[in-house]
A and B are shown apart, each in its own frame.
Chain A
Amino acid sequence: MVTSLRLRSGEVVDCVDLYKQPALRRRGMEAHRIELRPRGEPEEKGSVEEKPASDKDVDPSSSSRQLSASRQEYGAEGEICPEKTIPIRRMDAEILRNFRSLDDFFRKHPPHVVDGPTNLHQYAHAYRTGDNWGAQSILNVWGPYTERASEFSLSQIWVVRGSGRTRETVEAGWQKYRDLYGDYRPRLFIYFTPDNYGSGGCYNLTCSAFVQVSNSVYIGGGFTNVSQHPHPSTAWEFKLRWQKDGTEGHWWLKYGDTWVGYYPRTLFDSDGLRDMAAKVDFGGEIIDEQPSGRHTRTDMGSGHFPGDGFGYAAYHRQIRYITTRNVWGVRPSLTATRTDADCYDITLHNSSDSWERYFYFGGPGFWAHCN
């Protein structure tokens, strides 16, 4: 036995032997050899710049002191799982009570029957279509209001390939989702689907898919700080990256400067993510269960519209993708889209400084023009 930790939030984290973790028990993984890091970084040299910024385009943060790296509650007081173990949340019965079945638990959002078929996913996001080996951005963390426990609000990166029922994705970001986590704090999350959001995928480490190698990052864990109004304020943010480790390699997750682990390429189909991705996507998503027949009041991002700008609105900045030659694509051309601009919106920007390609997104949900 190694150990388990009880975090200040009350949740229990088991420290599981790296070489006995659940993902290694999945069928087809019997002979898998754990890799501890990908073979390399994407190259800066020869990077592709699709949308050059002019000198007039500058960063919206006036000084670097306004930006701070988010920290997880896990490890904030010094105690983390020992080397060669990984942190896995111990599931408690209270959370399971929020789901009708295991299949429901594994879905990105289960199909509750509430006032009719109203499980509406709403988005404000920006994407780039084209073969790639991954994506990266810096996200600021907020604690958006969620009207219902069964509604979530998130900010994330999607990496996608495939179509119809065989669409496959790997996803990561922060998410507030009371039913899944048992509280109202934003948490670092990952998700994947091999079947277009059926019950074949799952969040975090709940279905023996993601191979974790780091003991210092707690997937599914909450943050110690979230961004707050009013401006000027500190933006608490973190950098995330999905990176395919070459055609034959796995889908690696990098959080800040730490390689967290990977989805093995064997989870995916050759028409899907096995060799590459076909789209990178960034932005926000909420669930609108239309309580009482009107639009939800659940916030996206910070709850502010993008026009409110730095200090108020949620953002993704330094948005990049990785070409299939393993070179950075910087300041990419992006297509912004939203389900309903009166509810949640997105505005694209370009900076010649460190923000590079970025956007603000979000909104408050229900109001006079969103009902």
Chain B
Amino acid sequence: MHSLQLHASTFGLKPIKSAVLAVACLVLTPGWLPLPFLGAALAQTSGASSDQRCHTDDAQDEGDQHPDIHKLQQPDTRPNCESDRVANPRERQRMERYFGDLVARRMW
């Protein structure tokens, strides 16, 4: 389910609604629509899900809200994570020291 949600997000839809639409799409769409592209997106996002920083909102979406919106389907071209959020080791140490000192045991 989680990977399906990631995949749905890749297609620009919210998870629950997207799952329903994806199934409907498989059943109803004519063969000329780009189904291979669905598989490619799945492969791409399942790789992304192994990175803990590549996450999507897994909160339940409202299935029936805004029937006319979110219908533009554009595939994402990149996973939902950003390498630039990683601090260098020195900065990481500085952050950990800061928060270690902020609530030190002597304050309890």
Q: Which residues of A contact B (CB under 8 A)?
A: 1-4, 14-17, 20-22, 88, 90-91, 93-94, 96-102, 105, 112-114, 143, 145-150, 178-179, 184, 206, 208, 229-230, 291-292, 294, 297, 303-304, 312, 364, 366-368, 371
Contact = CB atoms under 8 A, between A and B. Distances in A.
A185 to B, nearest CB: 8
A297 B84 contact: no
Interface stretch (B21-29, B32-40, B42-50, B65-73): B65-73
Nearest to B85: A98
B87 A100 contact: yes
B36 to A, nearest CB: 20
A20 B95 contact: no
Main secondary structure of the interface of A (DSSP, over half): loop
A312 B65 CA distance: 9
Contacts of A102: 91, 94-95, 98
B15 to A, nearest CB: 9
Contact of A100 (B56, B59, B91): B91
A15 B107 CA distance: 9
A100 B56 CA distance: 20
Contacts of A101: 87, 91, 94-95
B96 to A, nearest CB: 7
A366 B72 CA distance: 9
B85 A368 contact: no
Contact of B85 (A15, A94, A112): A112
A337 B72 CA distance: 27
Contact of B12 (A15, A105, A366): A366
A97 B103 contact: no
Contacts of B69: 364, 367-368
Contacts of A368: 68-69, 71-72
A14 B108 contact: yes
Given A96-B99, A364-B70, A16 B57 contact: no
10 contacts: A17-B108, A93-B96, A98-B85, A102-B98, A149-B56, A178-B55, A179-B85, A184-B59, A208-B102, A229-B64
A145 B61 CA distance: 7
B92 A96 contact: yes
A98 B86 CA distance: 7
Given A149-B80, A208-B102, A303-B62, 6 more contacts: A22-B102, A98-B85, A147-B57, A148-B80, A184-B57, A304-B66
Given A149-B53, A292-B78, A297-B70, A91 B99 contact: yes
A97 B9 CA distance: 23
Nearest to A92: B99
Contacts of B96: 93, 96
B85 A100 contact: yes
B7 interface: no
Nearest to A146: B57
Contacts of B70: 297, 364, 366-367
A113 B83 CA distance: 9
Which interface residue of A3, A93, A145 has the most chain B CB atoms within 10 A?
A145
A292 B108 contact: no
Given A1-B105, A105-B95, A99 B85 contact: yes
Contact of A15 (B76, B80, B94, B108): B108
A114 B95 contact: no
A96 B100 CA distance: 12
B95 A371 contact: no
Nearest to B64: A230
A302 to B, nearest CB: 8
B86 A100 contact: yes
The 3 A-B pairs at the shortest CB distance, nearest first, are namely A367-B69, A91-B99, A20-B107
B71 to A, nearest CB: 7
